[in-house]
Structure 1
Amino acid sequence: MNKLFATGAAAIAALSFGTAAKAEDITLRIGSGHPPGVVYAGLMINYFQKELKERVEARTDHTVNFVEGYSGSIVKVTEVLEGVQDGIIDIGGFCFCFEPSNLPLHAFQVMMPFGTMDPEMSLKIAQEVYAEVPYLTDVFEDKFNQVLLSRIADGGYNLGTSFPWDDLSDLQGQKIAGAGLNLNWLKLAGVSEVQSSLATAYTEMNTNVYEGWIMFPSAWVNLKLYEPGPYYTLIGFGSMTWHGLTINKDTYDALPDDFKEILHEVAADYEQQTGIVNASEYDRLVDELRTLITVTEIDPAVRKAWAESLAAWPQSLADELEAQGLPAKQVLNLVLDRAEANGYEWPVRYVVE
């Protein structure tokens, strides 16, 4: 039985092992900077890895093993793209929010805040946008030596805080955390923003580095952020599909053809699971938070006022990204159109020309 240890240079050497007909023992290094308590990372372990191993071993003569590197044990949240590119890990899951220079357009739904709170709809919108704009998929192979396997939806974003609030004015003077582009949701609304990540969120909330987080309910529950943040406000910033699962291109090229076929099948199913699980869990997690802390729903007028404060931002971003040669106007208009085609009504209808 041939042995394929699919990392970096070893993957290239493994090309000599030949065709899909030969049984191979395939070991893949897989990980994320996020802990398994974050839904997509947990699904990488409990769905993607499990299904890939079971289906490959049931339908081929290959065996599959994983070397796991979650919670930043191999690569931190800001290092996954480069870690996969360099073969430090073979498969990585990460947020595009941590790659504002390398992947500035891939957080396109974040550029349209107050969109749908339904992760399944968010994923469907993103899939339709990717289908129309090949650059969004091709750039991973063209520039970063990897193949995009799955797009990953998040649960709907709200605002967890250590203090109660009812209006934007209540947030003035408070420090609120976010990641990447969503910091602009705060800054443009006059709120003090702090860049952070879930890997350090509990400690930083607990030590008053900041007093709140733009965050989906799964993290507030699973990472126990409700302890330093006993107020969770349902404002509905939207569900964002702005994570991805990628595989090193050298590793991918070295894999047997029958393995690749199953890999893409499982990756597509995993992609759908990120929407399904986040959607099914949202209400349950909010209900759980209600038993632990104070959960309130913001007045729709406050939500609309916040959206209005961001109304000019998408056009500004589009102009900036177009100047870099990126199809930003096409992408952002597709987001608007596809959301509406899927039945969503924007509280403020952004205009990008």
Structure 2
Amino acid sequence: MNIDELTSVARAIVTGQKGILAADESGPTIKKRFDAIKLECSEENRRRYREILFTAEGVERYLGGVILYDETLRQSTADGVPFAELLMRRNIIPGIKVDGGAKPLALHPGEKVTEGLDGLRERLQEYKQLGAKFAKWRGVIEIDAADIPSSYGIRANAHALARYAALCQEAGIVPIVEPEVLMDGAHDLARCETVSLQVLQTVFDELAAHGVALEGMLLKPNMVIAGMKSPQQADVRQVAEATMRCLTRHVPPAMPGIVFLSGGQSAEDATHHLNAMNQLGPFPWQVSFSYGRALQAPVLERWQGVEQNVAEAQKILLRRCELNSLACAGKYDSGMESSAFSPP
């Protein structure tokens, strides 16, 4: 492990108000997205869609990294340039999703643990040869009854995240550690904050126990938000304050950056919340984004699988990335949304 190289990559992803495009949807997830626009989920359509995202003119000004899926890391542009190479040419760092998905946690009904550690060392070596410089692993924490999540459920996911992170650094790959407390459910803001605090404390305890160098990793947490079924929804300021209160208590300053997941929020809400959090700063780490749906949903809606719509869809992606970059500096304003989907 070369900590200087890991630190350099981690910092490069988030410097200059840049963030990450999460384009790492699994097969079933991308099928759902394509079904919504009535497009066949063929390998060529998936390849073409990712090509549209990665070739959008100007996105390198706002994106420091892109998370790819196994299939996508092995694909190329129509003229034969591997996607990882294409991104590097644009000074966008390619990464790879490496977890095997969340599965039921044995003897703990209602809880899940992420699998995929078996054979990960060998897969990381291959992914590095294919051009990946960082990786991502998602641990899923659901909030349900008073006893879910259990302390064991949290610990099981934190342990897996730390083992993954240690393997990444051993391979010379920057790990993005993603402990996601889901927005599903009827819990209020306070309950989400309590669980998020427990999760972060446990995750960083496990990272320390495994010897993970915080300077060479990034954290991808959830925002502290009430469950979607909760009748008590917090406003933007409350979400920002609760989230940053949670993070400042448990995230060491040695880590270069926090890249939030959008977690099912609308594109506008995710940007509003990111902006409000940065307005509370400065913080010891860069506070940025690693959005999937919040960047892609407007793009898919405009593209519809029609080639004549590609240019406009790419302009929408560029504008969405620009707005989130502004939010990284606390300079976003809701009035900017009126022109968000017009050519900038």
Q: TM-score, normalised by structure 1?
A: 0.27
More contact order relative to length (CA 8 Å, sep ≥ 6): 1
Q: Which has the larger radius of gyration?
A: 1
Q: TM-score, normalised by structure 2?
A: 0.27
